[in-house]
Amino acid sequence: MERENLSKLQKLTISAMVIALYVVVLGATQSFSFGAYQIRIATSLYALSYLFPFLVLPLGFANFLANTLFGGLGLLDMIGGGLVGIATSALIVAVRRLGWPRWLIGLPILLVPGLGVATWLSYLLQVPYWTMALSLCIGQAVPAVVGVVLVHALGRVLYPRRGKAADGRGKGGQT
């Protein structure tokens, strides 16, 4: 199955499944996915935009929906989370399109939520920005690693004959 040959219906189906998966994973891990100290495993799914660039907007919507269902911090957190999801996924797509090493997809997963979400959470929770940002970045280290491993594993499954270039970019792909 080549990404480039997916029909609109297939892309819509994959998008819906990823949104549902994000919400389910976040719901199952909500005890440690919210607040000043959080490890949000669901954000590792942003890495899927490396293999499926059409997931940028659906992943943002997934974050918006999950924050609506489970967050409890209001409209600012819902919209901000959606925008952070879009920005993170878009940067991951940029890593792929620029031909940079695949391990770099962990950086947007680590830094965009860590530094971005801290802008409003520090205000809402009355915690200093840098304290909040450091806490969030530490928590995002786990999803960043999981995201890189996820893309590596799926790349091997989706493109088994390409070996190290299993990311769909040809011989220039790096692990």
| Total residues found in the chain within this entry | 175
pLDDT for res 165: 47
Higher pLDDT, 32 or 54: 54
Burial of residue 160, with CB atoms counted within 10 A of its CB: 0-12 exposed, 13-18 middle, 19 or more buried = exposed
**In contact, 50 and 105? CB cutoff 8 Å:** yes
Domain 3-29+38-172 has CATH 1.10.1760: yes
Asked whether the beta carbons of 133 and 127 are under 8 A apart, the reply is no
DSSP 33-59: TSSSS---GGGGGGGHHHH-GGGHHHH
Question: Residue 172: what pLDDT?
Answer: 45
What is the pLDDT averaged over residues 31-52? 90
- Using an 8 Å Cβ cutoff, are 90 and 73 in contact? no
Query: Which tens digits make up the pLDDT trace of 123-168?
Result: 999 999 999 999 999 999 999 999 999 999 999 998 887 655 445 5
Least confident among 23-37, 53-67, 99-113: 23-37
Q: What angle, 0 to 180 degrees and rounded to 10, lies between the N-to-C axes of helices 106-125 and 75-97?
A: 160
Listed by start position, the domains of the chain span 3-29+38-172
Query: Looking at this protein, which amino acid is placed at residue 37?
Result: Y
CB atoms within 10 A of CB 26: 24
pLDDT of residue 171: 44
Q: How far is CA 160 from CA 4, 31, 36, 79, 166, in A?
A: 17, 37, 41, 38, 7
